Amino acid sequence: MPTAFITGITGQDGAYLSRLLLGKGYRVVGLLRRSASSDVVGERLRWIGVLDRVELMDGNLTDLSSLIRILQACQPDEVYNLAAQSFVAASWQQPLLTGNVTGLGCVNMLEAMRIAAPHARFYQASSSEMFGKIQAARQNEETPFYPRSPYGAAKLYAHWMTVNYRESFGMHTSSGILFNHESPLRGIEFVTRKITDGVARIKLDLARELSLGNLDAKRDWGHAADYVEAMWRMLQQNAGDDYVVGTGRTATIHEFCKLAFGHVGLNYEEHVVTRQDLLRPAEVDILHADPTKARERLGWTPTVSLEDLAAEMVEADLARYRAGTRG
């Protein structure tokens, strides 16, 4: 039975990845940051039905000693570093925390592996936000980076350190440059979930309007359950590498609103209002993936359409409110 160690196991991607690996016969161990609220920390794992099948170990990405101790104890075959301060908007308000957790945290994990589990394979959750002010119409592994937020800059540092450990120490390290990926497990602070939550509240007469920022931003949105499959496939390759993971389709926030509100028979233009205070200091106008390498090398293609993704998220939020378990 192979062992996988996942940081960020209590997040969206961690939950879907846990379910995937358990289905493949893995022992799954996760990093548990005790500063998280204990009553909700396992909610995503519980929602997806795997909380009682994973092992959670106390530690923190900012504490190298805890990472070494955990790796020595569980001796993983694969390590997936998904943990981060992952909300882009918050990174302007907390740039040092973002750099420490999202950037240096990755290096702590790499260094702990070099000391305690040098033969394990490593996956780093890189981000399309590293492309920022895009330098090509469609972004692939050769596109220059130009991050536009402290989050994007921190992810870029982590990305290049993952490359550096691969080239310096011969470690099997891979980065997935993942474009936006959503699901019913997405945090409420992210725009897609904010929209579907708003749709549910308005449909159930709990609210009348939804406040958003820039509706013209374009993103390449896919389903998180598809994207964790790509993560796993990267670590099954003979050597580490970097891969862009996306659908190759872009849509504006306007379009996502139209799909989400339209699913319940509402016109988003009658309910969505824009607020200047919700705009980012520096916007990323468009992200558009070219996932050719992932398709050709990994045999990976997305399976969930944007329409089906929006519908699934709306239905999940409707169910939460009807059951009195919004979250």
- Active-site hit among 18, 86, 91, 127: 127
Alpha-helical (H) ranges within the chain are: 12-23, 43-47, 64-74, 88-91, 95-98, 105-116, 150-169, 191-203, 224-234, 253-263, 292-293, 306-323
151 is catalytic: yes
Let me know the angle formed at the C-alpha of 174 by 249 and 301, rounded to the nearest 5 degrees.
Answer: 30
Residue 246, CB-side half-sphere exposure with 13 Å CA sphere: 26
127 is catalytic: yes
- Active-site hit among 26, 80, 123, 151: 151
- Active-site hit among 123, 128, 129, 227: 129
Q: State how far the Cα of 106 lies from the Cα of 159, in Å rounded to an integer.
A: 9
16 is catalytic: no
Tokens 């000693």 belong to which residue? Answer: 65
DSSP classification of residue 189: T
Per the CB < 8 A criterion, the answer to whether 65 and 72 are in contact is no
Q: State how far the Cα of 19 lies from the Cα of 45, in Å rounded to an integer.
A: 9
Q: Which residues contact 219 (CB under 8 A, 6 or more apart)?
A: 179, 180, 250, 251, 253, 286, 287
- State the catalytic residues: 127, 129, 151
